[in-house]
Chain A
Amino acid sequence: DVKVTQSSRYLVKRTGEKVFLECVQDMDHENMFWYRQDPGLGLRLIYFSYDVKMKEKGDIPEGYSVSREKKERFSLILESASTNQTSMYLCAIKGQDTQYFGPGTRLTVL
């Protein structure tokens, strides 16, 4: 079974804090993705990575950055958290064509 783990299920941060969301996979897949999920908007792609040290912007990269130093780990960074970044964050890995998701991190920025 594909396993994608995210470091926290729930996170509460203050405006202006630097926030790290971690995603780890155990399947040796090259492709990893970060999405945010908001009611009525579906899943929107923030960043993705095809390989170690490679990253590509998705549809809504503003306010976010990513890091992929090792193949199994893909980190999403909020440089200075804002209240409009309160959301559910989902990490995914890609098999041949299918994406497999982690359980999500619900981030609240106060």
Chain B
Amino acid sequence: GENVEQHPSTLSVQEGDSAVIKCTYSDSASNYFPWYKQELGKGPQLIIDIRSNVGEKKDQRIAVTLNKTAKHFSLHITETQPEDSAVYFCAASETGTASKLTFGTGTRLQVTL
């Protein structure tokens, strides 16, 4: 089955700096890679996703890159703000009705003033 590794487990950055979280996956059949943000006391919320037919996707201050050859994908947050402080999860799966997501172990991002 799929195995997803995520690094770092904790990340502290100053407000305005960039943050990068990296994930690797093992199953070459995976072609869908979502990222979730989980704030304290809430369920994970999808913030961005990427499919294997593209190498990069951006949404305002958030971007995700995918390297299928190396089987790794990364989340980039620019101009970080205190409200970006949360736990972030990467995940991987094949597409299709029967697909299941495999999650990384999470990164706790702390944005300090």
Contact = CB atoms under 8 A, between A and B. Distances in A.
Q: Do A and B come from one complex?
A: yes
Interface of A: 4, 30-31, 33, 40-45, 48, 50, 58, 90, 92, 96-104
Nearest to A96: B95
A40 B108 CA distance: 10
Given A41-B105, A97-B32, A101-B43, A31 B89 contact: no
B100 A43 contact: no
Best-surrounded residue of A45, A98, A102 (most CB of chain B within 10 A): A98
Contacts, number: 52
Given A42-B89, A43-B89, A101 B44 contact: yes
A75 B100 CA distance: 19
A87 to B, nearest CB: 14
Given A48-B100, A50-B97, A98 B34 contact: yes
B9 interface: yes
Contacts of A96: 95
Given A90-B44, A98-B46, A104-B42, 20 more contacts: A40-B9, A40-B105, A42-B103, A42-B104, A42-B105, A43-B44, A43-B103, A48-B100, A90-B43, A97-B32, A97-B93, A97-B99, A98-B34, A98-B49, A99-B46, A101-B44, A101-B45, A102-B43, A103-B41, A104-B43
A99 B32 CA distance: 12
Interface string B1-23: 00000100100000000000000
A100 to B, nearest CB: 7
A99 B44 CA distance: 10
A69 to B, nearest CB: 21
A48 B102 CA distance: 13
Contact of B98 (A42, A50, A102): A50
Nearest to B51: A97
B97 A31 contact: yes
